[in-house]
Amino acid sequence: MNITTNQIRTMFLSFFKKKDHKIIPSSSLIPNNDPSLLFTNAGMNQFKEIFLGNNKPKFSKVVTIQKCLRTGGKYNDLDNIGYSDNHHTFFEMLGNFSFGDYFKKEAISYAWELLTSIQWFNLNKNRLWVTVYYKDQETYQIWINIIGLNPERVIYVGNKKNSNSLSDNFWSMGENGPCGPSTEIFYDPTENFLQHSGEYFKNNQDTQIEIWNIVFMEYNRTLDGELIPLPNKSVDTGMGLERISRILQNKKSNYEIDIFDQLIKSIFQFNKNIYSNKKKSIYIIADHIRSSAFLIAENIFPSNEGRGYVLRRIIRRALRHAHTSGMNKLFFFKLIPTLIEVMGEESNLIKNNIKKVQEVLKQEEIQFNYTIHRGIKLLEDQIKKLKGNILHGKIIFKLYDTFGFPVDLTADFCKEQNLQIDSIGFMKEMNKQKKQTKIANQFAKQYDPVLTIKNHSIFKGYNTYETTSIIKQIFINGKTTNQLNCGESGIIILDNTPFYPESGGQIGDIGEINNKQNIFKVENTKKYGIGIIHFGKILSGKLSVNQEIQAKINIKYRKNIQNNHSATHLLHSALRNIFGNNTIQKGSLITNLSLRFDFSCNEKITNEKIHKIEYIVNEYIIQNSIINTTIDTFNNAQKTGAIALFNEKYNDIVRIVSINDYSIELCGGTHTNQTGSIGFFKIINEKSIGSGIKRIEAVTGNKAILFIHNKETKLNHIMNILNTNEDNISKKIHVLTNTIHKLKNNIDIFIKRELIEITKQLLKKVIHINNINLLIENINISNSNLLRNVIDIIQKKLHSAIIIITTIIEKKIYFIIKISKNLTNDIQANYIAKKIINNIGGKGGGKSHLSEGGGGTKVELLSITLNNIQSWIKKKFELL
């Protein structure tokens, strides 16, 4: 069958369309508001709340092609890539779903028909095997009695933990959430498939390709592991697109299908000198360019935490393999046009953001190359210092942890130099770090318990600051409870709320939830699944579930946040105006006090530019434009050129915030009504926070005025000290620095003269014992630091010398001792220093040829101390 991956997508959708399924677009790779999940890992994620019975479905039968990423959490295939022919970080999952509509019989029949019918995929039935959950006799009977499979081809499997089965046929999305027994269809790609028995299948599952997983969603697994039946029995199926393509295109690996074939050709086109035998590395690069590009298109940027960290790991893993395969030039970002071409419409998001995707990848590649070169240099330095032929674990760990240098590159490098690496030592360091991270995580867990939210909270706070609402749930320390008493801290969930939950960079609201004298102080508000959670403490009385309350936000706090949020949109617009439309938002933090905006920018931001930005934003404020918010479909919004940011993705309905025609953004945040209420905008800080990323911090309204006042006060203070006014201050400072400079020159001349005079006098006092020059003197000098200059000059004139010079400044004794190196076997400066300190006090020390000290206060004992030392030295050397 000569069929392209694109055609397979279309066939899958049309098959289920014919069976009355509604085609639903893929949801974002970033789960919408589900803290239990880092990335979308299955087709069913976007329907989680429907399975749980919290949301009503618009259609009871749907079909999707879902973009998935399995690089973290319960499903993580990252380390398999390159070694397995069937796994990917990024992949597309074909799936049909029933929400309380059809169940086992239909789900199985549909799958069988699509796979084996001559009009559809027409697979040889003798190549197909089926597994069934060991307790699910109903499904077993359907395969045998309705589909008509030979019982030998239907295999019961138990839990992975208790059997040697590769798959456990009980699927759950994560540690908790919707789950149920499943039945899986496998394909036997081997030549001898006709001779294979059920026994062979059981013992050789690694030769078989799992193509379709049909899950019967029946339960919700709670945090305690309890299985609670779901309100409706539903179906969730998933078939990996790349796997079915591989089978239908008759290839030996997923990486040989049309999509990867093109990508791999492209990798070769940009790298003419790839070492042979690097197939695995090429597969890794081809896989990772897909996941990286889709993530960046979804506004995930490489960083050191969360999703950004996973992205950075993926990119760096690809680049590391490129490096060890002999690819030395920048090329990763150049694969994007091919990726867009092979993925067709599925890559529209990348196509629409191509500049951003390429720029981010390029920056990461440049930075990585730098890391590699720096790492190699550091490694070479360490190897030079090496005693023996084993590179210590601590060094390998430091290179890895502090400088991001990959361990396998260290290993490769050492191998080339015939050195061994101390892998046990490295693991020890690694475990130490893991322990620390674990402790940190455990700590975080206490404050971030997993909550089971039963009700939707409706946000009313766009139009009102106060609502009459009902308390739906209360949590204390993550555990549900019916009542919060005076003094207790906890979480309250309402049916509707005016409190804005932290999101899109805007912090959560604060305020009060009360029922007459029973008052809960809201200290923060966040989104959590389908709920909005209010954190806080009961100040008086008590509150219970089902009670009617008044929810009031702190209006002043919110208004400040609103002004800062609208100012952020104006700033974004001004930046695009100055630095071009490719200026990409990389993050923001909008609080009641200030706003912070991170964006891509490779230019230096001069003072002049800062003033220009401020001027433009303030000009917008002066115009006092009305800020409009409208609701529309995502597609329509995109047509208006609205800038999409972090949260609004493929959701049907989005909120558009526009300020005349100079700023149109998709934004769920709260805004002021007219730009005039922002009052005044002032940038207070600008810095670089990574290669090509700048951060601007700014304040608005009264905070901006206070900032200016503060500066003015400082300036006034300086003017008072200098006794001048604003017009003359620069001139005055200039004159002062000139005077200081001149005075310093004069002082230097005086000091030089003083030194010449002192040393001249001192040299007269040298005594000679047995070819040794001995000078012990207390001198008058203006600054103790000059002792060093004096002793340096004298030492140059005297060979074989013992020189001890002291001075008293403000009743404290300072001393310096120099001994020519040829004498240090017989007498040591640090020994003499100790003797002096023992007698006159103070501190000091040094080496055998040079010691110094100071702070001693027994001035009256100085002369006798020096005399004693002189006699001791004389005796010592006269006897020699």
- Binding residues for ligand SER, per CB under 6 A? 42-44, 95, 171, 213, 215, 236-238
Q: Please answer whether residues 672 and 563 qualify as being in contact, where contact means their C-beta atoms are separated by less than 8 angstroms.
A: yes
Rg over CA atoms, the chain? 37
- Cα dihedral sign, 492-496-497-501: positive
Using alpha carbons, select from 517, 558, 553 the residue that is nearest to residue 538.
Answer: 517
In the complex with ligand SER, the residue whose CB is nearer, 48 or 334, is 48
Helix (H, G, I), strand (E, B) or coil at 42: coil
Token digits for 444?
Answer: 């975080």
Report the nearest approach of ligand SER to the CB of residue 193 (Å).
24
Token digits for 849?
Answer: 């040829």
Report the nearest approach of ligand SER to the CB of residue 463 (Å).
39
Residue written as tokens 């091919």?
Answer: 338
Residue written as tokens 């230019």?
Answer: 603
Residues 6 or more apart whose CB falls under 8 angstroms from that of 339 comprise 263, 289, 290, 293, 347, 350
In the complex with ligand SER, the residue whose CB is nearer, 247 or 873, is 247
CA quadruple 16, 17, 23, 26: dihedral, nearest 10: 30
Report the nearest approach of ligand SER to the CB of residue 595 (Å).
41
In the complex with ligand SER, the residue whose CB is nearer, 53 or 541, is 53
In the complex with ligand SER, the residue whose CB is nearer, 42 or 451, is 42
Q: Please answer whether residues 818 and 790 qualify as being in contact, where contact means their C-beta atoms are separated by less than 8 angstroms.
A: no
Q: In Å, what is the CA distance from 159 to each residue of 77, 132, 168?
A: 20, 11, 5
Q: Which residue is nearest to ligand SER (CB)?
A: 238
In the complex with ligand SER, the residue whose CB is nearer, 42 or 81, is 42
In the complex with ligand SER, the residue whose CB is nearer, 171 or 397, is 171
Q: CA 227 from chain center: how many Å?
A: 34
In the complex with ligand SER, the residue whose CB is nearer, 95 or 406, is 95
Report the nearest approach of ligand SER to the CB of residue 229 (Å).
18
Report the nearest approach of ligand SER to the CB of residue 172 (Å).
9
Report the nearest approach of ligand SER to the CB of residue 57 (Å).
16
Query: What does the alpha-carbon distance between residue 823 and residue 800 come to, in Å, rounded to a whole number?
Result: 7
In the complex with ligand SER, the residue whose CB is nearer, 236 or 777, is 236
Q: Indicate left, alpha or beta for 225 from its phi (over 0: left) and psi (-120 to 50: alpha).
A: left
In the complex with ligand SER, the residue whose CB is nearer, 22 or 732, is 22
Q: Please answer whether residues 657 and 625 qualify as being in contact, where contact means their C-beta atoms are separated by less than 8 angstroms.
A: no
Using alpha carbons, select from 756, 851, 872 the residue that is nearest to residue 806.
Answer: 851
- Cα dihedral sign, 53-58-63-68: negative
Report the nearest approach of ligand SER to the CB of residue 238 (Å).
2
Q: Please answer whether residues 559 and 510 qualify as being in contact, where contact means their C-beta atoms are separated by less than 8 angstroms.
A: no
Using alpha carbons, select from 337, 328, 293, 333 the residue that is nearest to residue 311.
Answer: 293
Report the nearest approach of ligand SER to the CB of residue 178 (Å).
9
Report the nearest approach of ligand SER to the CB of residue 201 (Å).
20
Report the nearest approach of ligand SER to the CB of residue 210 (Å).
9
Report the nearest approach of ligand SER to the CB of residue 75 (Å).
8
Token digits for 857?
Answer: 């206060």
Token digits for 796?
Answer: 């140059």
In the complex with ligand SER, the residue whose CB is nearer, 70 or 356, is 70
Helical (H) or strand (E) element with 264: helix 258-270
Give 679-687 contacts, CB < 8 A, sequence gap 24+. 679/563, 679/621, 679/704, 679/705, 680/618, 680/621, 680/704, 680/705, 681/567, 681/570, 681/571, 681/614, 681/617, 681/618, 681/621, 682/614, 682/707, 682/708, 683/610, 683/613, 683/614, 684/594, 686/605, 686/610
In the complex with ligand SER, the residue whose CB is nearer, 43 or 529, is 43
In the complex with ligand SER, the residue whose CB is nearer, 179 or 409, is 179
Tell me, what DSSP letter sits at residue 296? H
Report the nearest approach of ligand SER to the CB of residue 171 (Å).
5
In the complex with ligand SER, the residue whose CB is nearer, 171 or 333, is 171
Tell me, what DSSP letter sits at residue 144? I
Query: What does the alpha-carbon distance between residue 49 and residue 178 come to, in Å, rounded to a whole number?
Result: 9
In the complex with ligand SER, the residue whose CB is nearer, 165 or 618, is 165
Report the nearest approach of ligand SER to the CB of residue 45 (Å).
8
In the complex with ligand SER, the residue whose CB is nearer, 104 or 682, is 104
Token digits for 574?
Answer: 């001004």
Length of the chain: 880
Report the nearest approach of ligand SER to the CB of residue 48 (Å).
11
In the complex with ligand SER, the residue whose CB is nearer, 172 or 807, is 172
Report the nearest approach of ligand SER to the CB of residue 115 (Å).
15
Report the nearest approach of ligand SER to the CB of residue 189 (Å).
20
Q: Please answer whether residues 537 and 474 qualify as being in contact, where contact means their C-beta atoms are separated by less than 8 angstroms.
A: no
Report the nearest approach of ligand SER to the CB of residue 205 (Å).
16
In the complex with ligand SER, the residue whose CB is nearer, 239 or 659, is 239
Q: What string of H, E and C letters represents the secondary structure of 199-239?
A: HHHHHCHHHCEEEEEEEEEEEEECCCCCEEEEEEEEEEEEE
CB contact burial 570-608 (16+ within 10 A = b; e otherwise): bbbbbbbeebeeebbbbbbbbebebbbbbbbbeeebeee
Helical (H) or strand (E) element with 165: none
Report the nearest approach of ligand SER to the CB of residue 59 (Å).
17
Q: Please answer whether residues 665 and 565 qualify as being in contact, where contact means their C-beta atoms are separated by less than 8 angstroms.
A: no
DSSP 586-642: EEEEE-SS-EEEEEE--S---HHHHHHHHHHHHHHHHTTPBEEEEEEEHHHHHHTTP
Query: What does the alpha-carbon distance between residue 647 and residue 696 come to, in Å, rounded to a whole number?
Result: 22
